[in-house]
Amino acid sequence: MKIFYTLFLLALLSSISHAFVNDFCVANLNGPDGPSGYECKAPNTVTVDDFVFSGFVAGNTSGIFNAAITPAFVSQLPGVNGLGLSVARLDLAKGGFVPLHSHTASSEILIMVKGEITAGFITPAAAYQKTLKPGDIMVFPQGLLHFQVNSGKGKATAYLAFSNPSPGAQLLDLLLFGNNLPSQLIAQTTLLDYAQVKKLKARFGGRG
């Protein structure tokens, strides 16, 4: 009896391709990507582990910014391919912060988990800043420069949600001082003092 119904359902769906019975496109990370994401893995090779990431834990906050980002983007979680969504974990040691940065094609929501973070974003017209504690969330609209500073007395942790499966991160200092453009050009187009540029180029690895 059971077999009868199963066969019947298969018959009902018989002229329907694999695209019909799967409603996701798990990234084939070994293949090329395109403007809308990676190619889809063959559905019969997809497992639940393509939709689960188990390394969403605190990163090492002992570096210069005392900050760690643990991403769960398409590279870590291939099931988000094409879905316009990803997340990350942010850990800040005491005094830690994420310097000014933006995401080229992604908005971001920060969910406070622990400690206290002062966060904000800047538009040409105004700056929007708030000190956040557990129970607070804050949204940073797409493409705007924003920062997060541990303003509390201990560690701080937050979760970040992004409207892009691979949101990128344009860290301002890395952009300005980590490249090989002539320091004079950077000074001119930022209006920073030449000495300031040279000092930070030395720190962020830029040449020129």
Chain residues 84-123 in contact with its own copies, contact rule CB under 8 A: 84-87, 97-100, 102-105, 107-109, 111-113, 118, 120-123
Distance CA 144, CA 140 (A): 7
Element (H, E) at 15: none
Is 33 a residue that touches its own copies (CB under 8 A)? Answer: yes
Is 66 a residue that touches its own copies (CB under 8 A)? Answer: no
Is 23 a residue that touches its own copies (CB under 8 A)? Answer: yes
Measured from the CB atom, the residue of 156 and 162 that comes closer to its own copies is: 162
Exactly one of 37, 93, 116, 117 binds its own copies (CB under 8 A); that residue is 37
Residue partners of 185: CB distance under 8 A and separation at least 6? none
How many CB atoms neighbour CB 86 within 10 A?
23
Residue 108 is assigned to a ligand binding site? yes
Residue 146 is assigned to a ligand binding site? yes
Burial of 177 (0-12, 13-18, 19+ CB in 10 A): buried
Q: Which of residues 40-59 bind its own copies (CB under 8 A)?
A: 40, 43, 47-48, 51-57, 59
131 forms beta bridges with: 118
State both tokens at 26. 């798990």
Annotated binding residues: 101, 103, 108, 146
Annotated binding residues for oxalate: 103, 108
